């Protein structure tokens, strides 16, 4: 029953010699073979490489050179470049792309001794909230395979929830770690912007994208973040700031903790069942000694419109490199250069990516740049200032991670606005560059509900401590879908 163990428990078993990395890796590879046909959570499974790395990890452990992650199998979201392994970003555009180098996140985790099981499915170029825009087909939610797992890190969330991997990497541009973590009943951490290198992480919106860990517990996320975080001179947005031991403060008591509840997160649009679960979780924090304080984030209603100007503008710029010239999809028999550009991009990109490129190009065009893009950046500052004022009163902010539980596949495919509103509680955190986490808090209509916790810049230790203490007093994070037990 290795698959029911947390990453921390598996690390202890490896350390004690109760299991080898090869045995552990094979057990998870067997589960992927058994169950992933139903879930579609993986795009690529790297079985031969995984077993070779597991053997090397066992040798390293036998030589006394092991760390906490040595020999632990994990999955990587297919947005991270992996040397000589297909890196698709969920798109036809990169269906034939084998990365010539490792992303810094992959590099750091390899150095820590992890074993890569494979690359997980995702919304195309991380654009989506349901994992339905992938060229490789939709990912299923293991709690109900008719439902979406959330997005864009839906493959990462689904495979962890189904116990096909003990942990995975994800990326969060507007909620793409926290929202699928909520919908799949796992723990997902979005670190402070700049805390984890973006080098080798295929860009969607450069001022918003941030990599983070997805696992069963806050403790597991802390262990992963210890390996993932740190300055990278190859990434101009990486911050040269010392990395603390994120596991050091996990067991600090919460007495005196001040929790802010934004009234804007508990109003119209929030499902009543989700609200009930979140309020019960907050009451649990009160019992643990925290003080609950009502606060306001008055510009919350601007977050979605601001995001859908800023993010498409940046994606329009970032995705201009996919032109069929150097790498990626190229159309057959182009008549001339212009024809190659048009048909390569037309064939390579899906509908949602095209929609966002068009919106972004429009917002950046002459005559509209000041009216849309500059105005959106001004409003972004106001949203950030709201958080700064709130953190003068409180230590952390809590609320729902998603306004609803997982919806059915296809339910919102023809309504992009409704889909965009799935991230209404998460987007502002990215606009402000803050760290946020979603942790399992219960169920509504038999589907998982996540509690979102937000902290000050670089206060991931507090965030993880607050999440861990809740998980020491509840068992929602231990629940797993019966069909994948």
The catalytic residues are 77, 152, 176
Contacts of 182 (CB under 8 A, 6+ apart): 150, 188, 400, 401, 402, 438, 448, 449, 450, 452
The CA dihedral of 482, 483, 484, 485, to the nearest 10 degrees, is 40
Phi first, then psi: give them for residue 377, nearest 5 degrees: -70, -35
Distances (CA, A) of 224 to 124, 157, 252, 261, 474: 25, 15, 20, 29, 22
Phi, psi torsion values for 411, nearest 5 degrees? -65, -35
Instruction: Give Dmax over CA atoms of the chain in angstroms.
Output: 70
Per residue, the 3-state secondary structure of 45-100, as one string, reads ECHHHHHHHHHHHHHHHHCCCCCCCCCCEEEEECCECECCEECCCCCHHHCCCECC
Which residue carries 């040269």 as its tokens?
Answer: 240
Question: For residue 19, what are the contacts with CB-CB under 8 A and spacing of at least 6?
Answer: 2, 10, 13
Answer whether 167's CB lies under 8 Å from 119's CB. Answer: no
Count of alpha carbons within 13 angstroms of residue 398, beta-carbon side: 29
- Cα 359 to Cα 47, 380, 424: the distances in Å are 40, 18, 19
Residues 128, 176: Cα–Cα separation, whole Å = 8
Query: Contact at 8 Å (CB) between 357 and 349?
Result: yes
């Amino acid at each position: 029953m290795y698959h029911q163990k947390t990453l921390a428990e598996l690390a202890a078993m490896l350390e004690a010699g109760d299991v080898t990395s090869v045995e552990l890796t094979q057990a998870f590879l067997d589960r992927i073979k058994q169950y992933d046909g139903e879930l579609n959570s993986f795009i690529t499974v790297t079985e031969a490489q995984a077993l070779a790395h597991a053997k090397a990890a066992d040798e390293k452990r036998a030589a006394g050179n092991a760390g906490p992650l040595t020999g632990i199998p994990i999955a990587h979201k297919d947005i991270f470049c992996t040397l000589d392994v297909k890196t698709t970003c969920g798109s036809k555009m990169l269906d034939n792309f084998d990365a010539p180098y490792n992303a810094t996140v992959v590099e750091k985790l390899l150095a820590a001794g992890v074993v890569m099981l494979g690359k997980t499915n995702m919304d195309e170029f991380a654009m989506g909230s349901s994992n339905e825009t992938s060229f490789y087909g939709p990912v299923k939610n293991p709690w109900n395979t008719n439902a979406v797992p959330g997005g864009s890190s839906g493959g990462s969330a689904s495979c962890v929830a189904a116990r096909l991997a003990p942990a995975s990497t994800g990326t969060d541009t507007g909620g793409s770690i926290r929202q699928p973590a909520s919908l799949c009943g796992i723990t997902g951490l979005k670190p402070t912007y700049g805390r984890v290198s973006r080098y080798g992480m295929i860009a969607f919106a450069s001022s918003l994208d941030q990599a983070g860990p997805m696992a069963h517990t806050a403790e597991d996320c802390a262990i992963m973040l210890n390996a993932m975080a740190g300055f990278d001179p190859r990434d101009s947005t990486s911050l040269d700031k010392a990395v603390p031991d994120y596991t050091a403060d996990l067991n600090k008591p919460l007495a005196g903790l001040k929790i802010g509840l934004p009234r804007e997160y508990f109003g119209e649009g929030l499902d009543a069942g989700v609200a009930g679960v979140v309020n019960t979780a907050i009451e649990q924090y009160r019992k643990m000694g925290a003080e609950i304080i009502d606060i306001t984030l008055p510009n919350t209603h601007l977050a979605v419109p601001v995001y859908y100007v800023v993010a498409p503008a940046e994606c329009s710029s970032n995705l201009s490199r996919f032109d069929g010239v150097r790498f990626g999809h190229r159309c057959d028999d182009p008549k001339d250069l212009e024809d190659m550009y048009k048909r390569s991009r037309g064939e390579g990109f899906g509908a949602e990516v095209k929609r966002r490129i068009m919106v972004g190009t429009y917002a950046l065009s002459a005559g509209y740049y000041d009216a849309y893009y500059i105005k959106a950046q001004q409003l972004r500052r106001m949203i950030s200032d709201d958080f700064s004022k709130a953190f003068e009163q409180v230590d952390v902010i809590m609320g729902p991670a998603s306004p609803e539980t997982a919806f059915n596949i296809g339910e919102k495919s023809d309504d992009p606005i409704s889909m965009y509103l799935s991230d209404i509680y998460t987007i502002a955190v990215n606009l402000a560059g803050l760290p946020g986490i979603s942790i399992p808090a219960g169920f509504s209509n038999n589907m998982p509900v996540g509690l979102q916790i937000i902290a000050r810049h670089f206060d991931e230790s507090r965030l993880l401590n607050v999440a861990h203490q809740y998980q020491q007093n509840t068992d929602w994070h231990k629940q797993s879908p019966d069909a994948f037990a």
